[in-house]
Amino acid sequence: MRAPSFATLLAVVLPSIPAFAQAPAAAAPDLGARCRALFARALEDNRCHAILADLCATAPKRMSGSAGYATAVEWGRQQMLALGFANVRLEPCMVPHWERGAREELSIAAPGAFAGEKLAVLALGGSVATAPTGLVGRVVEFKGLGDLRENGARAKGAIAFLNQPLDPTELDTFRAYGKAVGQRWAGASEAARVGAIAVLVRSLTLRLDDHPHTGSMGYADGVPQIPAAAISTRAAERLSALLAAGHAVELKLALHCRTLPDEPSFNVVGELVGTAKPDEILVVGGHLDAWDAGDGAHDDGAGCAQALESLRLIRALGYGPRRTLRCVLFANEEFGTRGGNAYAATHADELAKHVLALESDRGGFLPRGFEGTLNDAARARLAPLYEALAFAGIAHWEPGNGGVDIGPMKGAGVPLVGLVPDSQRYFDVHHAASDVIENVHPRELALGAAAMAALLHYVDGLEGTLR
Amino acid sequence: MRAPSFATLLAVVLPSIPAFAQAPAAAAPDLGARCRALFARALEDNRCHAILADLCATAPKRMSGSAGYATAVEWGRQQMLALGFANVRLEPCMVPHWERGAREELSIAAPGAFAGEKLAVLALGGSVATAPTGLVGRVVEFKGLGDLRENGARAKGAIAFLNQPLDPTELDTFRAYGKAVGQRWAGASEAARVGAIAVLVRSLTLRLDDHPHTGSMGYADGVPQIPAAAISTRAAERLSALLAAGHAVELKLALHCRTLPDEPSFNVVGELVGTAKPDEILVVGGHLDAWDAGDGAHDDGAGCAQALESLRLIRALGYGPRRTLRCVLFANEEFGTRGGNAYAATHADELAKHVLALESDRGGFLPRGFEGTLNDAARARLAPLYEALAFAGIAHWEPGNGGVDIGPMKGAGVPLVGLVPDSQRYFDVHHAASDVIENVHPRELALGAAAMAALLHYVDGLEGTLR
Yes or no, beta carbons of A10 and B383 under 8 Å apart: yes
CA distance A28 to chain B (A): 15
Catalytic residues of A: 333
| pLDDT reported for residue A125 | 98
For A395, the closest of B10, B19, B175 (CB atoms) is: B19
A8, pLDDT greater than 70? no
| Over residues A446-452, mean pLDDT | 98
A367, pLDDT greater than 50? yes
Residue of B nearest to A368 (CA): B393
Contacts of A6 in chain B (CB under 8 A): 376, 379, 398-399
CB atoms within 10 A of CB A310: 28
B5, pLDDT greater than 60? no
Contacts of A10 in chain B (CB under 8 A): 376, 379-380, 383
CATH of domain A101-256: 3.50.30.30
Based on the residue annotation, tell me whether B398 is a catalytic residue of this protein.
no
Yes or no, beta carbons of A14 and B383 under 8 Å apart: yes
A23, pLDDT greater than 90? no
A1, pLDDT greater than 60? no
Identify the architecture of domain B101-259 in CATH.
3-Layer(bba) Sandwich (3.50)
Contacts of B5 in chain A (CB under 8 A): 376
For B18, the closest of A21, A44, A447 (CB atoms) is: A21
A349: confidence class by pLDDT, cuts 50, 70, 90: very high
Yes or no, beta carbons of A14 and B380 under 8 Å apart: yes
Yes or no, beta carbons of A171 and B39 under 8 Å apart: yes
Tell me the β-bridge partners of B414: none
Report the distance separating Cα B263 and Cα B265, nearest Å. 6
| pLDDT reported for residue B13 | 34
Report the distance separating Cα B104 and Cα B257, nearest Å. 9
| CB distance B290 to B333 below 8 Å | no
In percent, how much of chain A has pLDDT > 70? 94
Return the higher-pLDDT residue of A25 and A249.
A249
Residue to test with chain B: of A1, A5, A6, A17, most B Cβ within 10 A:
A17
CB atoms within 10 A of CB B178: 14
| CB distance B410 to B373 below 8 Å | yes
A333: confidence class by pLDDT, cuts 50, 70, 90: very high
B17: confidence class by pLDDT, cuts 50, 70, 90: very low
User: Regarding beta strands A258-272 and A323-330, do their DSSP bridges make them parallel or antiparallel, or are they unpaired?
Assistant: antiparallel
Return the higher-pLDDT residue of B9 and B450.
B450
Q: B210 φ, ψ to 5°?
A: -100, 15
Contacts of B169 in chain A (CB under 8 A): 40-41, 43-44
Among residues B271, B280, B309, B333, which one is catalytic?
Answer: B333
Q: E strand or H helix at A381, and its extent?
A: helix A376-381
For B424, the closest of A1, A19, A366 (CB atoms) is: A366
Report the distance separating Cα A164 and Cα A323, nearest Å. 48
For B398, the closest of A1, A171, A425 (CB atoms) is: A1
| Over residues A272-284, mean pLDDT | 98
| CB distance B49 to B440 below 8 Å | yes
| Sheet arrangement for strand A121-123 | A105-110, A250-254, A135-142, A159-162, A198-202, A228-231, A121-123
CA distance A27 to chain B (A): 11
Q: E strand or H helix at A390, and its extent?
A: none
Residue of B nearest to A38 (CA): B169
A345, pLDDT greater than 90? yes
Residue of A nearest to B365 (CA): A424
Complex-level ipTM: 0.93
Residue of B nearest to A392 (CA): B171
| Over residues A280-287, mean pLDDT | 98
Judged on CB neighbours under 10 Å (0-12, 13-18, 19+), B244 is exposed
Nearest alpha carbon to residue A362 among A292, A451, A268: A451
| Over residues A280-288, mean pLDDT | 98
Query: Computed from CA positions of residues B427, B433, A367, A47, in that sequence, does the dihedral angle turn out positive or negative?
Result: negative
| Over residues B321-347, mean pLDDT | 97
B44, pLDDT greater than 80? yes
CA distance A96 to chain B (A): 32
Report the distance separating Cα B322 and Cα B275, nearest Å. 5
| pLDDT reported for residue A209 | 97
Nearest alpha carbon to residue B310 among A409, A251, B302, A26: B302
User: Regarding beta strands B416-421 and B396-399, do their DSSP bridges make them parallel or antiparallel, or are they unpaired?
Assistant: unpaired
Nearest alpha carbon to residue A459 among A406, A392, A388: A388
Nearest alpha carbon to residue B2 among B391, B366, B392: B391
Yes or no, beta carbons of A19 and B397 under 8 Å apart: yes
| pLDDT reported for residue A247 | 98
Yes or no, beta carbons of A206 and B443 under 8 Å apart: yes
A300: cis peptide before it, omega within 30°? yes
Nearest alpha carbon to residue A291 among A398, A423, A432: A432
Yes or no, beta carbons of B26 and A14 under 8 Å apart: yes
| Over residues A370-384, mean pLDDT | 95
* DSSP result, B329-365: EES-TTTT-HHHHHHHHHTGGGGGGEEEEEE--S-SS
Q: Which residues contact B254 (CB under 8 A, 6 or more apart)?
A: B104, B105, B106, B130, B132, B133, B134, B135
- Give CA separation, A139 vs A160, A232, A266, A271, B464, in Å: 6, 16, 42, 53, 61
Of the candidate ranges A399-408, A446-455, B14-23, B227-236, the one whose mean pLDDT is the lowest: B14-23
Contacts of A41 in chain B (CB under 8 A): 169
Yes or no, beta carbons of A21 and B17 under 8 Å apart: yes
A462, pLDDT greater than 80? yes
Residue of A nearest to B24 (CA): A16
For residue A154, the SS3 value is helix
Residues composing chain B: 467
Residues composing chain A: 467
Report the distance separating Cα A189 and Cα A196, nearest Å. 9
Nearest alpha carbon to residue B98 among B56, B129, B126, B78: B126
Yes or no, beta carbons of B13 and A422 under 8 Å apart: no
CATH of domain A4-98+261-461: 3.40.630.10
pLDDT averaged over chain A? 94
Contacts of B175 in chain A (CB under 8 A): 1
For residue A92, the SS3 value is strand
Residue of A nearest to B2 (CA): A398
Residue of A nearest to B428 (CA): A441
Report the distance separating Cα B186 and Cα B195, nearest Å. 15
| pLDDT reported for residue B22 | 39
| pLDDT reported for residue A389 | 97
Residue to test with chain B: of A5, A10, A12, A14, most B Cβ within 10 A:
A14
CA distance A423 to chain B (A): 10
A14, pLDDT greater than 60? no
Residue to test with chain B: of A16, A366, A371, A439, most B Cβ within 10 A:
A16
| CB distance A159 to A139 below 8 Å | yes
| pLDDT reported for residue B134 | 98
CA distance A44 to chain B (A): 5
For A16, the closest of B11, B169, B170 (CB atoms) is: B11
B327, pLDDT greater than 50? yes
| pLDDT reported for residue A103 | 95
CA distance B167 to chain A (A): 8
Neighbouring C-alpha atoms within 13 Å toward the C-beta of A3: 16
- Provide the residue ranges of all domains of chain A, joining segments of one domain with +: 4-98+261-461, 101-256
Report the distance separating Cα B165 and Cα B147, nearest Å. 13
Judged on CB neighbours under 10 Å (0-12, 13-18, 19+), B112 is exposed
A3, pLDDT greater than 90? no
Report the distance separating Cα B418 and Cα B403, nearest Å. 6
A26, pLDDT greater than 90? no
pLDDT averaged over chain B? 94
A11, pLDDT greater than 90? no
Q: What is the pLDDT of residues A205-227, one digit of tens each?
A: 999 999 999 999 999 999 999 99
B343: confidence class by pLDDT, cuts 50, 70, 90: very high
Contacts of B14 in chain A (CB under 8 A): 26, 380, 383, 386
Report the distance separating Cα A84 and Cα A107, nearest Å. 52
| Over residues A388-407, mean pLDDT | 96
B278, pLDDT greater than 90? yes
Q: A414 φ, ψ to 5°?
A: -70, 125
Tell me the β-bridge partners of A359: A285, A418
CATH of domain B24-93+264-461: 3.40.630.10
B7, pLDDT greater than 60? no
Report the distance separating Cα A371 and Cα B3, nearest Å. 11
| Over residues A184-212, mean pLDDT | 98
Residue of A nearest to B427 (CA): A443
CA distance B6 to chain A (A): 6
Yes or no, beta carbons of B376 and A17 under 8 Å apart: no
Report the distance separating Cα B177 and Cα B376, nearest Å. 28
CA distance B2 to chain A (A): 6
Helix, strand, coil % in chain B, rounded to nearest 5? 40, 25, 35
A465: confidence class by pLDDT, cuts 50, 70, 90: confident
Contacts of B387 in chain A (CB under 8 A): 16-17
| CB distance B378 to B402 below 8 Å | no
| CB distance A294 to A433 below 8 Å | yes
Yes or no, beta carbons of A19 and B396 under 8 Å apart: yes
CA distance B156 to chain A (A): 34
For A424, the closest of B40, B170, B443 (CB atoms) is: B443
Report the distance separating Cα A280 and Cα A302, nearest Å. 26
Contacts of B380 in chain A (CB under 8 A): 9-10, 13-14
The one-character DSSP state at A125 is B
| pLDDT reported for residue B465 | 87
B26, pLDDT greater than 70? no
Nearest alpha carbon to residue B462 among B321, B328, B327: B321
Q: What is the pLDDT of residues B133-169, one digit of tens each?
A: 999 999 999 999 999 999 999 999 999 999 999 999 9
Yes or no, beta carbons of A169 and B44 under 8 Å apart: yes
- CA A318, chain centre distance (Å): 30
Contacts of B41 in chain A (CB under 8 A): 169
Report the distance separating Cα B379 and Cα A154, nearest Å. 60
B15: confidence class by pLDDT, cuts 50, 70, 90: very low
| pLDDT reported for residue A463 | 94
Report the distance separating Cα B311 and Cα A90, nearest Å. 58
For A395, the closest of B168, B206, B395 (CB atoms) is: B395
